[in-house]
C-alpha cells in the first residue's frame, strides 16, 4: 500500500510542478489525506488522523542549538483544503510542545586516541554553560517533494573549546499516510570516535500511558517509570509503542536491516531500547562498542514514527 501511495505522490508532484523552496507557502498535493507545507519559518507535515481531525507535525528551529527538527504535534478539524492559508486560519489543538531532541545527540571525540576531556553529549538539544554555548548548528534545510532535508554540523566533546565541527549530519524526514520516516546519514569531517549514540528517540509527555516493547508485548510499563526492552542479542525486530489513554498510539520503529540498526556497535546484553522516568524513550545504536570513522566516512540508520488513533478496537 505504501509503495502505491508513494507512486501516486510522485506522479502528483510532477503534474503540479510545485516550487520547493522553504519560506514560501506552497501545497504538495498528496492523495487527499496528507500534505506538506511551509508557513512562516516552519514546515508542517499533516495527515488524516481521526474521521474528523488531521494530525500535524511542526518542524522548527528549537532547543539551545536551534536545530531544525520536531517541534510540536497539532490537531486540526478535518479539512480537504490542505493549504498554508487554510492552516493559518483553522482552530488548532496543541498535543505536544517539544522540550527535548527526537534525533539523538552524539558522544563523539575528535581522533582515535583517548581524550583527557570528560565525555559528554553534543548536538541535538545539548549545549554547554547552562545552554548558552551551542555544540551544533543547522547549516541549511529544504523541502524536496514530500521530504524535509536538514543538514547539521556537530562539535566533538573535545572540540567545544575551539568550536570545531567534526560531524555533518543529514536528516531526512519523509511524510507517510501515518506519520514520518526518518533517515540519518552522518559524515566524519575529520577522524573521530563515536562512543555512544541513541539516534531514534521519543518524548512521551503526550503519549503518557504505557510503553510496550516488541518481543515483550505481555509486559506494559508505565511511561513515567524507567524500563528497558530485551537484550539486543535476543531480538530481530526492534520497535516500541507508547499510548495515551489507550486511544492515541505512537509506534517507533527501527529498521534492523539497515546501517546502525543492525546492531554491530552494541554490546550483546545491551537492551535495544529503554525508557527513563522523565518520559523519554531511546533506541541504542552505539553503546558498548565504539565506532571509528575516518575523515569522509559515513554512518547511517533509518526508522519511522507512526501515529494511530484507536477507537473501540479500530485503528484509524
Task: Report pLDDT digits (tens) over 246-263.
Answer: 789 999 999 999 999 999
Instruction: Return the C-alpha torsion angle 174, 148, 272, 126, nearest 10.
Output: -160
pLDDT value of position 9: 34
Average confidence (pLDDT) over 139-164:
97
- Range 275-293 average pLDDT: 97
Closest of 283, 265, 300, 43 to residue 183, by C-alpha:
300
The confidence score (pLDDT) of residue 223 equals 94
Q: What is the mean pLDDT of residues 253-275?
A: 97
What are the angstrom distances between the C-alpha of 292 and each of 109, 198, 215, 272, 298?
10, 16, 31, 21, 10
**Residue 16 pLDDT level (bands cut at 50, 70, 90):** very low
Q: Please, what sign has the CA dihedral across residues 259, 306, 17, 171?
A: negative
The pTM assigned to this predicted structure is 0.88
Greatest CA span in the chain, whole angstroms?
A: 58
Flag whether pLDDT at 14 surpasses 50. no
- Looking at residue 209, the DSSP 8-state letter turns out to be S
Q: Tell me which of 28-32, 146-150, 229-233 is least confident.
A: 28-32
CA 112 – CA 130 distance, rounded (Å): 29
Distance, CA of 96 to CA of 123 (rounded, Å): 22
Q: Could you tell me what percentage of the chain is helix, strand and coil, using 3-state DSSP and rounding each to the nearest 5? A: 10, 50, 40
| Position 237 pLDDT exceeds 70 | yes
The H-or-E segment that residue 15 falls in is helix 2-16
pLDDT of residue 78: 84
Q: Check whether 26 has a pLDDT greater than 80.
A: no
pLDDT digits (tens, 9 = 90+) for 189-213: 999 999 999 999 999 999 989 999 9
Report pLDDT digits (tens) over 59-111: 999 999 999 999 999 999 987 677 888 888 899 999 999 999 999 999 999 99
Amino acid at each position: 500500500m505504501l509503495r502505491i501511495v508513494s507512486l501516486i505522490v510522485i506522479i502528483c508532484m510532477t503534474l503540479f510542478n510545485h516550487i520547493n523552496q522553504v519560506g514560501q507557502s506552497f501545497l504538495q498535493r498528496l492523495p487527499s489525506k496528507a500534505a506538506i507545507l511551509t508557513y512562516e519559518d516552519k514546515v508542517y507535515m499533516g495527515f488524516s488522523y481521526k474521521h474528523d481531525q488531521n494530525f500535524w507535525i511542526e518542524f522548527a528551529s528549537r532547543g539551545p542549538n536551534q536545530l531544525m527538527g520536531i517541534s510540536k504535534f497539532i490537531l486540526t478539524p478535518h479539512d480537504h483544503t490542505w493549504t498554508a492559508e487554510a492552516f493559518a486560519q483553522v482552530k488548532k489543538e496543541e498535543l505536544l510542545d517539544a522540550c527535548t531532541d527526537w534525533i539523538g545527540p552524539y558522544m563523539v571525540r575528535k581522533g582515535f586516541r583517548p581524550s583527557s576531556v570528560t565525555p559528554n553529549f553534543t548536538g541535538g538539544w545539548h549545549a554547554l554553560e547552562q545552554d548558552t554555548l551551542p555544540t551544533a548548528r543547522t547549516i541549511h534545510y529544504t523541502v524536496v517533494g514530500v521530504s524535509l532535508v536538514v543538514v547539521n554540523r556537530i562539535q566533538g566533546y573535545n572540540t567545544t573549546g575551539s568550536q570545531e565541527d567534526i560531524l555533518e549530519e543529514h536528516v531526512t524526514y519523509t511524510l507517510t499516510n501515518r506519520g514520518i520516516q526518518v533517515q540519518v546519514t552522518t559524515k566524519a569531517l575529520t577522524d573521530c570516535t563515536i562512543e555512544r549514540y541513541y539516534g531514534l528517540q521519543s518524548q512521551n509527555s503526550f503519549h503518557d500511558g504505557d510503553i510496550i516493547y516488541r518481543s515483550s508485548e505481555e509486559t506494559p510499563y508505565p511511561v513515567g517509570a524507567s524500563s528497558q526492552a530485551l537484550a539486543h542479542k535476543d531480538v530481530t525486530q526492534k520497535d516500541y509503542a507508547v499510548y495515551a489513554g489507550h486511544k492515541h498510539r505512537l509506534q517507533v520503529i527501527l529498521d534492523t536491516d539497515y546501517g546502525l540498526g543492525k546492531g554491530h556497535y552494541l554490546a550483546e546484553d545491551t537492551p535495544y531500547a529503554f525508557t527513563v522516568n522523565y518520559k523519554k524513550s531511546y533506541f541504542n545504536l552505539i553503546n558498548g562498542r565504539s565506532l571509528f570513522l575516518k575523515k569522509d566516512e559515513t554512518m547511517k540508520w533509518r526508522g519511522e514514527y507512526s501515529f494511530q488513533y484507536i477507537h473501540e478496537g479500530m485503528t484509524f
